[in-house]
């Protein structure tokens, strides 16, 4: 380095010194240490939710090429699994617009929003989904209670999740205990999300309104100030019985999911 440049450099910095061979050395500055926690959120169109062992991973494997672990014990899935749903071939050239990514999440249990089971960590993965699919083991002792538990956990984590369009799959109908109660379950689940709300009409007469939750905006202020219960959120777009393991009702289920995705697209267009 020419002498004049070296002088200039030394004048500019207090951290400059020379070694024996007259080389200019610039002293290092103290470094900075940072520890970063990066939070990953998967981007999927459809989120599969349900209690452990309901058959979420089996469903993902039935509809996509994903190969998630499937086993007869709870909490088989510890991290979300993703699978790609092919576009609907009936749509011809529009086929690709009907492709979707499905996320199979770990099972939820009561108290998950407080950290029980696998906790609330994976619930964030639902944030960017457009459609939810509730997977219920219809052969379980009390499937309605299981369904309510999952909805309640979603509500406690983020009430917006209950506003999201959803389809309910009553799984394991190959088992006689599920098959027998299927019609009653479909009826009961379709009803939840459709509270019969007494409202005061403008004339002051009391009437009963059994419409979609959004009608609640009409309800008196006192009613509105109360915390929303799961009955006050939208009804399912569809409730279907299936056995994803034995491939019974899978095409009907797929049609319900595709129709749900179309509804989401229409809703998104309407908002734009
Ligand atoms: N009989 C019957 N069994 C099923 C059906 N679908 C899934 N199973 C079984 O139910 C068990 C649980 O299935 P998984 O797909 O691992 O359930 P999961 O909801 O992903 O469970 P977690 O990952 O623990 O939340 C497995 O033994 C499956 O073979 C079905 O339609 N009928
Ligand atoms: Mg699983």
CA dihedral sign, ordered 259, 265, 269, 272: positive
Ligand 1 site residues, Cβ closer than 6 angstroms: 50, 52-58, 70-72, 74-77, 106-107, 171-172, 174-175, 243-246
Express each pLDDT in 145-193 by its tens digit.
Answer: 999 999 999 999 999 999 999 999 999 999 999 999 999 999 999 887 5
Task: Tell me phi and psi for residue 200, to 5 degrees.
Answer: -90, 115
Q: Which residues of 14-51 are buried (b: 16+ CB within 10 A; e: fewer)?
A: eeeeeeeeeeeeeeeeeeeeeeeeeeeebebbbbbbbb
Residue to mutate, 61, 245, 247, ligand 1, most ligand atoms under 8 Å from C-beta: 245
Distance from the CA of 268 to the center of ligand 1, in angstroms?
33
Q: How far apart are CA 110 and CA 145, in angstroms?
A: 11
Distance from the CA of 172 to the center of ligand 1, in angstroms?
8
Is residue 210 within 8 Å of 93, Cβ to Cβ? no
In this predicted complex, what is the ipTM? 0.99
Q: Model-level pTM greater than 0.90?
A: no
Residue to mutate, 51, 58, 68, 102, ligand 1, most ligand atoms under 8 Å from C-beta: 58
């Amino acid at each position: 380095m020419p002498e004049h440049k070296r002088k200039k450099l030394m004048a500019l910095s207090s951290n400059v010194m020379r070694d024996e061979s007259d080389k200019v050395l610039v002293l290092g500055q103290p470094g900075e240490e940072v520890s970063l926690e990066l939070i990953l959120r998967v981007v999927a169109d459809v989120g599969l939710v349900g209690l452990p062992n309901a058959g979420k991973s089996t469903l993902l494997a039935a509809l996509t090429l994903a190969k998630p672990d499937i086993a007869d014990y709870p909490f088989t899935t510890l991290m979300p699994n993703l699978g790609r749903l092919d576009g609907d071939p009936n749509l011809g050239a529009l086929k690709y617009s009907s492709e979707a990514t499905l996320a199979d999440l770990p099972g939820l249990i009561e108290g998950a929003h407080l950290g029980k089971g696998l906790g609330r960590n994976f619930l964030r993965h639902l944030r960017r989904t457009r459609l939810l699919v509730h997977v219920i083991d219809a052969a379980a002792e009390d499937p309605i209670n299981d369904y309510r538990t999952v909805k309640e956990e979603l509500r406690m984590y983020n009430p917006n999740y209950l506003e999201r369009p959803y389809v309910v799959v009553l799984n394991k109908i190959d088992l006689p205990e599920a098959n027998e109660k299927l019609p009653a379950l479909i009826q009961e689940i379709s009803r939840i999300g459709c509270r019969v709300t007494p409202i005061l009409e403008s004339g002051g007469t009391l009437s009963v309104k059994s419409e979609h939750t959004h009608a609640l905006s009409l309800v008196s202020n006192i009613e509105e100030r109360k915390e929303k219960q799961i009955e006050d959120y939208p009804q399912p777009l569809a409730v279907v019985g299936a056995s994803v393991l034995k491939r019974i009702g899978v095409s009907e289920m797929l049609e319900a999911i595709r129709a749900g995705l179309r509804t989401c697209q229409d809703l998104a267009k309407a908002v734009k």
